[in-house]
Amino acid sequence: MSRVGKNPVEVPSGVTITLTEEQISAKGKLGELNLPLTSDVTVTQDDNQIWVKPNNDSKRARALWGTTRANIANLVSGVSEGFTKKLEITGVGYRAQVQGAKLVLQLGFSHDVEMEIPKGLNVVAEKPTLIAISGADKQLVGQFAANARGWRGPEPYKGKGVRYEGEYILRKEGKKK
């Protein structure tokens, strides 16, 4: 029995939900998002609540029950509030800047790393060492942040690199003399 799937998704005011058999669409102040639905779960809407129920007792239906409910909750909160990830850059000479539709990272390589900013994302370099990535799609925000962090992840000896804000890096002791 899914503990997540049993709870309904509350739809805040200002968000309109369009429900068909194949997909669910949410439209709010931050844009419009769609989620394809599977035939293993049934999604219904009562006033300002969305309920998800499995169609049968198969393992796949029970697995997709909570997953679908969580994805719908992310859809609704994304178009109403949005999601934000912040990245901190630590290291001498490491910095970031936004140039048009590109994020340019200087991470100690012989060249600058240029990343295309996808549509639907807002990337701001608040300081040269702090990047804020925000948007309505939680998956897109998280994937772009992970791609930026992947260029130079934090290393354990000096802590240099790109890390999430508030991420704790386990530091190692250096060489002994």
Question: Is the domain defined by 9-80 classed in CATH 3.90.930.12?
Answer: yes
Q: What is the mean pLDDT of residues 23-40?
A: 91
pLDDT in tens, 113-140: 999 999 989 999 999 999 999 999 999 9
Cα-based distances in Å from 51 to 13, 59, 69, 138: 17, 19, 8, 21
Delimit the CATH 3.90.930.12 region(s) of the chain: 9-80, 83-164
Specify whether the CB–CB gap between 89 and 95 falls below 8 A. Answer: yes
Share of the chain above pLDDT 70, in %: 99
How far apart CA 17 and CA 9 sit, in angstroms, is 12
Question: Is the domain defined by 83-164 classed in CATH 3.40.50.620?
Answer: no
Stated as kind and residue range, the H or E segment containing 141 is helix 138-150
**Which 8-state DSSP code applies to residue 168?**
P
pLDDT in tens, 52-92: 999 998 899 988 998 999 999 999 999 999 999 999 999 99
Helix, coil or strand: residue 79? helix
Return phi, psi of residue 138, to 5°. Answer: -60, -40
Instruction: Look at residue 1 in the predicted model and tell me its pLDDT.
Output: 62
pLDDT in tens, 96-108: 999 999 999 999 9
